[in-house]
Amino acid sequence: MAMSSKILLVEDDQTTADFIASGLEQEGFLVDRATNGRDGLFLGTDTDYQCIVLDRMLPGLDGMAVLAALRGAGVHTPVIVLSALGAAEDRIAGLTGGSDDYLAKPFAFAELLARIRLLIRRSQNASAPQTSLSCADLEMDLLARRVRRAGQTIDLQPREFRLLEFLLRHVDQVVTRTMLLEGVWDYHFDPGTNVIDVHVSRLRKKIDEGHDRPLLHTVRGAGYRLGAER
């Protein structure tokens, strides 16, 4: 996927920038780097980028100011803001300030990668209203709120239905536990207990048990992925 997608990374901390850039390059992205807000803004006005990863605290021009300037200039490239300010207000301010996603430091690289991929994909297919979702022989009818696999109806509780709907909307993508909590329940806080793992293992039992080919995969160190391929 993501054939030579270009990503702009604006981050002043050398170690963090190296870590993100090398990780993204390993995943096949082309990464341009800026170490201050002014350069970030200058490069960011180039619309070739599929996504901009923007640190919030930057020397010179602050990250939120760069974001405001970009949006003011009509640049609609998806932006994910990285910040050491993890408090709820900062997250809300970041999101209302025009960013598409907000990630508090420190984060696992897999979390950042999953979110970047989600943003790129979302901006590529501006989602038309859908009435059904599917993955291999798993089908979801959103109007009748019915799920079938290989023609057999699967009985799901409402919460399981919504979880599966989120996974189906991000088919073949890695979704992390925090993405599930945010996307399904609008819950911005990591519980100290493994609540998501239990949800997923129950859902997996219902959709994969009795079928040769599992669809719901665990991605080690990152989260989950729904897809036909292993």
Residue 185 interacts with another protein (CB under 8 A): yes or no:
yes
Which residue number, 95 or 150, has a Cβ lying nearer to another protein?
95
Determine if 193 is a binding residue for another protein (CB under 8 A): yes
Nearer to another protein, 210 or 221 (CB): 221
CA dist 162 and 118 (Å) reads: 18
The smaller minimum CB distance to another protein, of residues 77 and 216, is found at 216
User: By CB under 8 A, is residue 166 in contact with another protein?
Assistant: no
Which residues in 142-161 contact another protein (CB under 8 A)? Answer: 159
Distant-in-sequence contacts of 134-140, Cβ < 8 A, 24+ apart: 134/168, 135/168, 135/171, 135/215, 135/226, 135/227, 135/228, 136/213, 136/215, 136/228, 138/168, 138/207, 138/215, 140/164, 140/165, 140/168
Determine the Cα–Cα distance for residues 63 and 202; give it in Å rounded to an integer.
41
Q: Which listed residue (42, 47, 95, 106) binds another protein by CB under 8 A?
A: 106
Largest CA distance in the chain: 60
The span of 2-10, 28-36, 62-70, 192-200 binding another protein (CB under 8 A) equals: 192-200
Q: How many residues bind another protein (CB under 8 A)?
A: 36
Whichever of 77 and 178 has its CB closer to another protein, that residue is: 178
Residue 36 binds another protein, judged by CB under 8 A: no
Rounded to whole angstroms, the Cα distance separating 83 from 54 reads 9
- Write down the residue that tokens 């890695």 correspond to: 174
Q: Is 65 in the site for another protein (CB under 8 A)?
A: no
**Angstrom distances, CA of residue 55 to CA of 65, 136, 155, 198, 206:** 11, 39, 44, 34, 41
Selected from 30, 61, 69, 195, the binder of another protein by CB under 8 A is 195
For another protein, the binding residues (CB under 8 A) are 13, 15-16, 19, 23, 57, 84-89, 92, 104-109, 159, 181, 185-195, 198-199, 202, 221
